[in-house]
């Protein structure tokens, strides 16, 4: 069963706009990670946020974590066509040892 | 070139045949993983390995066999392929599970193998 569920399943925006994706999970976590997958490629790690952190930045990426709501969001600012990809959240349960991936959000950034 | 590689990239086989997918990493990462990716299911863990000669089942291990005689290699074998095993298979590696002694559990993925079972 999936630990993380992304929302929306698909998102289409114009270049220059911001894109926000959400991830909800069910059990307590050690950390939450976001990955990107370009069509026909493997997943690439974007950012990791620990359970005791609330916000993290990396370039145009901003991740928030609300452990009370068991949710996280990924914000991509000033999106580019090259950001077109699927984005997955993955959670490492507290005390567990298996990273569990959600079903992903497909982002399309149009020129 | 350093990194994680998978072979073959594409494979077509028939029901009942044995198929082995190869995975090789050059980082000497302790942990290696096999996932399958199917529409509507995201990535599902098949097997993982914490070190050479140590393997454990994931979420969907039935029909698959793994081995890890060397740290850098983690082959996945479908002993008798079935149509339901048609999928894209990804291998991944990481330094650790959880953040231990400064090591991260960030996973690094290979490019995938697209397997079709007829």
- Domains along chain B with CATH numbers: 4-117 (2.60.40.10)
pLDDT digits (tens, 9 = 90+) for A53-64: 999 999 999 999
The confidence score (pLDDT) of residue A1 equals: 46
User: In this model, does residue B49 exceed pLDDT 90?
Assistant: yes
List, for residues B71-110, the tens digit of each pLDDT value. 999 999 999 999 999 999 999 999 876 666 556 678 999 9
Whether A83 contacts A101, CB under 8 Å: no
**pLDDT tens per residue, chain A (111 residues)?**
456 788 899 999 999 999 999 999 998 898 999 999 999 899 999 999 999 999 999 999 999 999 999 999 999 999 999 999 999 999 988 776 678 898 899 999 999
Following DSSP, what letter does each residue of B42-84 receive, concatenated? Answer: EEEEEEEEEETTEEEE-S--TTEEE--SSTTB--EEESS--GG
Cβ atoms B32, B22 nearer than 8 A = no
pLDDT of residue B111: 95
Residue B85 is classified by DSSP as G
Task: Centre a 10 Å sphere on the Cβ of residue B87 and count the other Cβ atoms it contains.
Answer: 21
**Which of B60, B93, B95, B105 to mutate: most A Cβ within 10 Å?**
B105
Q: Which residue of B has its CA nearest to A95?
A: B98
Question: Is A41 within 8 Å of chain B by CB?
Answer: yes
Go through the domains of chain A in sequence order and give each one's CATH number.
4-110 (2.60.40.10)
């Amino acid at each position: 069963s999936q630990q993380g569920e992304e929302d929306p399943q698909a998102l289409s925006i114009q270049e220059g706009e911001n894109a926000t994706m959400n991830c909800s999970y069910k059990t307590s976590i050690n950390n939450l990670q976001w990955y990107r997958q370009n069509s026909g490629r493997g997943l690439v790690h974007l950012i990791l946020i620990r359970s005791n952190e609330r916000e993290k930045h990396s370039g145009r990426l901003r991740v928030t974590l609300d452990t009370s709501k068991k949710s996280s969001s990924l914000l991509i600012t000033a999106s580019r066509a090259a950001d077109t990809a699927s984005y997955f959240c993955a959670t490492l349960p507290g005390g567990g040892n298996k990273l569990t991936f959600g079903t992903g959000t497909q982002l399309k950034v149009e020129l | 070139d350093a990194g994680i590689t998978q072979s073959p990239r594409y494979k077509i086989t028939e029901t009942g045949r044995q198929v082995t997918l190869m995975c090789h990493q050059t980082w000497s990462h302790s942990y290696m993983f096999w996932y399958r990716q199917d529409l509507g299911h995201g990535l599902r863990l098949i097997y993982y390995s914490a070190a050479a000669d140590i393997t454990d089942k994931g979420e969907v291990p039935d029909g698959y066999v793994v081995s890890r005689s060397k740290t850098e290699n983690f082959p996945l074998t479908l002993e008798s392929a079935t149509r339901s095993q048609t999928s894209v298979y990804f291998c991944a590696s990481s330094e650790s599970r959880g953040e231990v002694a400064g090591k991260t559990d960030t996973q690094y993925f290979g490019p995938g193998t697209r397997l079709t079972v007829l």
